[in-house]
């Protein structure tokens, strides 16, 4: 669409998480480093929370990819949609760990198969790390079942560690009485924040460069100001608005993104318009 017009090799503001575009901003780099360190600690669980669009899935994939580079030390499993029953999530874990099983296997035997696989991996000096995205959607009983798996012990260590990624509602889930043991086993609890104004500048420039752009500044200072105001620093909204602004500029034959292009993108984005209307009502009351 506009790739050639702007001298790009690919779309810079795609909504699909791509670790190629991971930017080592202070908060995301800190979260990455703390997660890697937490895997060496005592707790079996780590928790990363953040509002929708703050980059949790991107961070999840970045850590997952980092561990997969060390297959002699780690075995990884990833569950992106954990709205499953206790038995359902065990089948998902078994699938991720390549456990061959009968389709009508009992829940008890399924647990035995998973436990045996975790023990075998531990004997090979491999730690199994389970990544659960959108963890705030998990039923209590399902998360409790995962917790019970982490209580398996070997002579050296507990063979399973779990990293939960979720929206702020995950905090409320873990505060429930049934899950106090999970809360007590957290080795890390980190909240991803939105980008500040400087972070937004770095983010936009980084994605453009990664997409192949090597010209002068494409976004004016006024455009970036408007983008920050419209997105509130949320990476997903930055991507949505920037992509639409590029489309607007392309349609007009412009090569530089100005404030008007961003405002057009904002007016075309229902999420931003609803937030803007709400803020205007609050200030008017």
- Domains for the chain: give ranges and CATH numbers: 26-191 (3.40.50.300), 195-280 (1.10.8.60)
pLDDT at residue 283 in the model: 44
Q: What are phi and psi of 237, to 5 degrees?
A: -70, -35
The model's confidence at residue 26, banded by pLDDT at 50, 70 and 90, is: confident
- Average pLDDT score over the chain: 91
Residue 130 has pLDDT above 80, yes or no: yes
Q: How confident is the model at residue 282 (pLDDT cuts 50, 70, 90)?
A: very low
- pLDDT, tens digit, 9 for 90 and up, residues 79-96: 999 999 999 999 999 999
Using left for φ > 0, alpha for ψ between -120 and 50, and beta otherwise, residue 128 falls in: beta
pTM of the model: 0.86
Stated length of the chain: 285
Q: Look at residue 77 and give its three-state secondary structure.
A: strand
Nearest alpha-carbon partner for 235 in 271, 191, 195? 195
Question: What pLDDT, in 10s, does the model give residues 27-68?
Answer: 889 999 999 999 887 789 999 999 999 999 999 999 999 999
pLDDT tens per residue, range 91-110: 999 999 999 999 899 999 99
Residue 283 or residue 100, greater confidence: 100
Q: How do beta strands 74-79 and 45-49 pair?
A: unpaired
Q: With contact defined as beta carbons under 8 Å apart, do 152 and 115 qualify? A: yes
pLDDT-derived band at 285, boundaries 50, 70, 90 = very low
């Amino acid at each position: 669409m506009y790739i050639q017009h702007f001298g790009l090799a690919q779309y810079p503001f795609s909504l699909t998480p791509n670790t190629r575009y991971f930017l080592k901003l202070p908060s995301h780099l800190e979260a990455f480093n703390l997660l890697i360190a937490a895997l060496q600690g005592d707790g079996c669980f780590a928790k990363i929370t953040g509002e929708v669009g703050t980059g949790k899935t991107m961070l999840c994939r970045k850590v997952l990819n980092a561990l997969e580079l060390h297959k002699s030390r780690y075995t990884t499993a990833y569950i992106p949609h954990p709205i499953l029953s206790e038995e359902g999530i065990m089948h998902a874990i078994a699938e991720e760990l390549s456990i061959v099983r009968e389709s009508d296997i009992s829940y008890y035997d399924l647990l035995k198969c998973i436990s045996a696989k975790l023990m075998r991996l531990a004997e090979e000096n491999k730690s199994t790390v389970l990544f659960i995205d959108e963890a705030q959607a998990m039923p209590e009983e399902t998360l409790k079942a995962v917790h019970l798996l982490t209580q398996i012990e070997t002579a050296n260590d507990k063979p399973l560690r779990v990293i939960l990624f979720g929206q702020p509602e995950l905090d409320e889930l873990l505060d429930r009485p049934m899950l106090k043991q999970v809360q007590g086993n957290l080795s890390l609890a980190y909240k991803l924040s939105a980008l500040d104004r400087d972070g937004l500048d770095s983010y936009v420039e980084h994605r453009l460069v990664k997409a192949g752009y090597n010209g002068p500044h494409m976004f004016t200072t006024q455009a970036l100001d408007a983008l920050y105001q419209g997105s509130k620093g949320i990476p997903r909204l930055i991507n949505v608005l920037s992509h639409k602004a590029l489309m607007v500029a392309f349609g007009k034959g412009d090569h530089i993104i100005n404030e008007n292009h961003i405002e057009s993108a904002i007016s075309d984005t229902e999420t931003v318009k609803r937030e803007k209307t709400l803020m205007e009502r609050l200030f008017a009351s």
